[in-house]
Amino acid sequence: MSQLEYMDVSRARFRTTAGGLVSLQFDDTFYPKVDVYLSFPFSYPEQFISIRDEEGEEIGLIYDLSELDSVSREAVQQELKWRYFTPKIERITSYKEEFGHTYWGVITERGRENFVTRGRDQAIRIVSETRILIIDVSGNRFEIPDLRKLDARSRQYVETLL
Amino acid sequence: MAEIHPIIGDLGKEKQTLSWENDTLIYQEGTFTQSWELDSLQELKVQHLVGSIMLLGKIDDTEIVLLRGSLGQAREYQVFAQTVNTEITGKTQESRWDQIDDRCPKCNRLYPDPARPVCPRCLDKRSLFKRVLALTPPYSKKIALMVFLMISSSLVGLIPPYLGGRIFYDEVLKQGGKYSDRLGLVVLLMFLAELLILLLNVGQGRVNAKVAAQIAFDLKTQVFTAMQRLSLKFYNHQQTGSLMTRVNNDANHLQFFFHDGLPYFIVNSLRLVGVTVILVAMDWQLALMVLIPVPIIVFGIVKIRPILWRFYTKRWRASSRLNSVVNDSLSGVRVVKAFGKEDLEIERFSQRNERVFRVNQEVGKLTSTVFPAMSYFMSIGSLVIWGFGGWRVVKGSLTFGTLMAFTGYLWMLYGPLEFMTRVVEWWSSSMNSAQRIFEIIDSPEVLWQPEEPVRLQKLKGSVEARDVTFGYEEGKPVLENVSFKVEPGEMIGLVGRSGAGKSTIINLISRLYDPTSGQILIDGVDAREIDQKDLRRQIGMVLQETFLFRGTVYDNIAYARPDASPEEVMEAAKIANAHDFIIELPDGYETILGERNINLSGGERQRIAIARAVLHNPQILILDEATASIDTETEALVQEALERLVEGRTTFAIAHRLSTLRQADRLFVLDKGKLVEVGTHEELLRQKGVYHMLFTTQRNALSLVGVAG
């Protein structure tokens, strides 16, 4: 018997509120603000989504985002994007190690950015052979979706850390 | 009105700003503006997400997202929210968040470590160096001797090539030379010069070894002393595990600085100057030819080193990952065997092992190319000498001896050169190590200390919390507005789910931390005002995990009062129901704990801890899951000991098993950082609130496994 409580998505309506949050109408219950969590943020970015109320109690799990109607899906997707905000690195323009800290200059889809990472273990998360997550000193995340698609120079910088 | 800096939303391509002016909240994005008047605002709140943060505002009873930003903005958001909230409620919220700037005021660079306002670029290395040198006065005589020996050795070191080249070929071997009939004397001189260098080097090395080790020793002692003094909050910021290793590494680094770095620097600079002077004096034209390739060599070294370094790091990382697999599967060997996963472990090992193998191969290939190439380029220098110098010898404008001396000196030039290219890097990293060490030595006791602390020789034992809020991290309160009053001698049971804030209350009462806002009062005096020694002396703890120091049973019980007499210790052990089993230990009270063959059970360790507390005789007692890791049989013994201990003392007890709190006068029920219910066991059961729920779930769970609730 499964202990997991999947949500009957046909009864759920997620909406982005005027204030930019996600609300949920589930049968007769209205939640003005719900939080969305990914159980497996790397391997299953669109599955096993835990919906929690403001107290942190789980209302239910969504097995797959595609089960939702399009408006609900968009609302949840948008919220996931904010929660797991992770710009993708397109190119590494500069890389400097100094006194155990690394100063990065990168180009992401948002444009030019600089950030600082500390240590290796705290800074690098190897998701797969080709997918790398870089976490800066404040906890901000940057992703290299496919190492092979980076230009040679950028790749060289990253490979030092692997 | 308080001044607030606008905050920025920096997640999208366009930036947004949120500012507070004239009691109005103003949002701006490009040309779009929106504003809210003070009257409509209810509360601002910062919420941390995984990859971003958001500022929420409660406006006319609906929550809206005011701004989203990167995690680096957390502090600004927090301050903004707090200040605006103050304006809304009109009530100044006392706040003790550490206000640390996260940018270097000089170069405006982000500090690499937010908890550590140090900019490695703008570090005043010179004053640091002075301070490092200031550690040396006790050894100034030895250092003077060391420097003298170093200078002598570098000067004497310049002699052999001259003797072996110029004098030997031009004055001894040549017919009609000055010393042509005194071959023996010249050889003897060369022998003496080499011997002198040897002696000087040995002497210098020995003095040096002593001084460097002494300085490292002094530093480590200072650091350890400082670490004992620091409050727990410091350990929260720094990762305790790596702290000592780091301190050790840094101290060793500085030892290296004194032992190798500094002497080599002096010797090498003297050599460089000395050799250059001699070369120029012997023949300036040839000297110029020799010096021409120098910049090229320096350039080459500077270029190649990062590449080598990159490969070495790669190798180091690969092998440390291999080690961690070995370490993991060895320390988890029981799990591995139990699940029959030996093959999986072997697989994991071979994967990483193969990586090490591949990286090793790469490094091998690289080094066996680079190093020979480098020495080849260096030998070009001597080719220049052989060519140009040889031609001049043939022409007769240069003596053969000078040529030989030149080749000798040439090789004395390259070593120091190589070293000099590394000097800046080495100097910076040594100074950074020094900085980190001084940082610990200098870090203030985070707990505030009054100028004139209130002395309380004998506590009565009343404890009061007034509107206490506390968080280990900024913006994440663990306790919120907790208030209570406990009379002397009362026993309080702290109840709640894990993470509800029970341990935090205890940490605040024993003043391991200070509240973020609000007050803890002991005997009616703010805990911050009380002399820390007085307070510590009168607060005792028995924890779930009893930490026994290496030493005898006696030492362990008498830890808080090393001057206790044998009778007092035995008396305490008796009260703690520990006397009987101690007597049965091979060496009685003088049995050494922590040795392999002495295995005390959880209950026995616990009773030693209780004896320790009895002897300590505190007025306020804290029991943190004191009976959690004990079997039922010994529990009775421990429970009995605890009852004796609790008698007449103000006691705060945390116990997961609620039934163990039956003797408590009152129970405090915590839920999500708030004190939600207060009362006796019966009262609370009748209330049918949180406690009732906790109690029934637990009783059901226990009866299910057949343990009497």
pLDDT tens column, B366-398: 888 887 887 787 777 778 888 888 898 898 888
At B397, give phi and psi (nearest 5°).
Answer: -95, 5
Q: With bands split at pLDDT 50, 70 and 90, how would you rate the model's confidence at A49?
A: very high
Of B49, B63, B432, the CB nearest to A83: B49
Residue A25 confidence (pLDDT) = 94
Token pair belonging to B11: 């997640």
Q: Where are the domains of chain B?
A: 7-89, 124-282+421-446, 284-397, 463-704
Distance between CA atoms of residues B612 and B543, nearest Å: 12
Of A19, A141, A161, the CB nearest to B62: A19
Q: Taking 70 as the threshold, does the pLDDT of residue A82 lie above it?
A: yes
Mutate to test the interface with B, among A22, A49, A99, A103 (most CBs of B within 10 A): A99
Residues 20-49 of B with CB under 8 A from A: 49
Q: Taking 60 as the threshold, does the pLDDT of residue B525 lie above it?
A: yes
B242 has a chain A CB within 8 A of its CB: no
Q: Which residues of B touch A138 (CB under 8 A)?
A: 70-72, 74, 114
Nearest CA in chain A to B671: A55
Residue B399 confidence (pLDDT) = 85
Residue B18 three-state SS: strand
How many CB pairs below 8 Å do chains A and B form together?
85
Of B13, B51, B112, the CB nearest to A118: B112
Q: Taking 70 as the threshold, does the pLDDT of residue B501 lie above it?
A: yes
Q: What ipTM goes with this model?
A: 0.89
CA angle (B219 as vertex; B214, B221 as ends), nearest 5:
95
Residue B707 confidence (pLDDT) = 52
Q: Taking 50 as the threshold, does the pLDDT of residue B485 lie above it?
A: yes
Residue B596 confidence (pLDDT) = 52
Of A110, A120, A136, the CB nearest to B13: A110
Contact B660, B627 (CB under 8 A): yes
Contact B454, B533 (CB under 8 A): no
Contact B280, B291 (CB under 8 A): no
Residue B234 confidence (pLDDT) = 62
Of B11, B121, B432, the CB nearest to A85: B11
Looking at domain B463-704, its CATH superfamily turns out to be: P-loop containing nucleotide triphosphate hydrolases (3.40.50.300)
Contact B131, B438 (CB under 8 A): yes
Cβ contact (<8 Å) for A99 and B428? yes
CA angle (B24 as vertex; B18, B30 as ends), nearest 5:
35
| Mean pLDDT, chain B, integer | 81
Cβ contact (<8 Å) for B62 and A137? no
Q: Taking 50 as the threshold, does the pLDDT of residue B241 lie above it?
A: no
Cβ contact (<8 Å) for B70 and A140? yes
Q: Which residues of A touch B314 (CB under 8 A)?
A: 159-160, 162
Residue B474 confidence (pLDDT) = 64
Task: Quote the longest CA-to-CA distance of chain B.
Answer: 121
Lowest mean pLDDT among B108-117, B124-133, B309-318: B108-117
Residue B114 confidence (pLDDT) = 57
Q: How close is the nearest chain B Cα to the Cα of A70, in Å?
A: 23
Distance between CA atoms of residues B188 and B21, nearest Å: 90
Token pair belonging to B185: 């004397």
Q: Averaged over A2-31, what is the pLDDT?
A: 90
Dihedral, CA atoms, B464, B514, B83, B41, nearest 10 degrees? Answer: -50
Q: How close is the nearest chain B Cα to the Cα of A115, in Å?
A: 9
Residue A13 confidence (pLDDT) = 93
Token pair belonging to B170: 């031009």
Q: How far is CA B535 from the centre of its chain?
A: 28
Q: Taking 80 as the threshold, does the pLDDT of residue B335 lie above it?
A: yes
Nearest CA in chain B to A135: B51
Distance between CA atoms of residues B657 and B676, nearest Å: 19
pLDDT digits (tens, 9 = 90+) for B599-649: 788 788 888 888 988 888 889 998 887 766 666 667 778 888 888 888 889
Nearest CA in chain B to A157: B310
Cβ contact (<8 Å) for A17 and B310? no
Q: Averaged over B529-549, what is the pLDDT?
A: 83
Cβ contact (<8 Å) for A85 and B52? yes
Q: Averaged over B562-591, what is the pLDDT?
A: 88
B74 has a chain A CB within 8 A of its CB: yes
Residue in B676, B659, B623 with CA at minimum distance from that of residue B501: B676
Please give the CATH topology (third level) of the domain spanning B7-89.
PH-domain like (2.30.29)
Residue A143 three-state SS: strand
The architecture of the domain spanning B124-282+421-446 is Up-down Bundle (1.20)
Q: Taking 90 as the threshold, does the pLDDT of residue A88 lie above it?
A: yes
Residue B701 confidence (pLDDT) = 75
Residue B709 three-state SS: coil
Q: With bands split at pLDDT 50, 70 and 90, how would you rate the model's confidence at B238?
A: low
Residue in B538, B573, B574, B545 with CA at minimum distance from that of residue B558: B573
Residue B595 confidence (pLDDT) = 58
Of B11, B12, B429, the CB nearest to A99: B429
Distance between CA atoms of residues B688 and B699, nearest Å: 15
Q: Averaged over B232-237, what is the pLDDT?
A: 61
Name residue A14's amino acid: F
Distance between CA atoms of residues B194 and B611, nearest Å: 69
Q: How close is the nearest chain A Cα to the Cα of B569, in Å?
A: 48
Cβ contact (<8 Å) for A99 and B112? yes
Q: Taking 60 as the threshold, does the pLDDT of residue B598 lie above it?
A: yes
DSSP summary character for residue B633: H
Rounded percentage of chain B residues whose pLDDT exceeds 90: 9
Distance between CA atoms of residues B550 and A56, nearest Å: 44
Predicted TM-score (pTM) of the model is: 0.62
Q: Which residues of A touch B56 (CB under 8 A)?
A: 21
Cβ contact (<8 Å) for B314 and A32? no
Lowest mean pLDDT among B178-192, B420-434, B523-537, B639-653: B420-434
Q: Which residues of A touch B320 (CB under 8 A)?
A: none
Of A21, A41, A55, the CB nearest to B65: A21
Q: Averaged over B210-238, what is the pLDDT?
A: 74
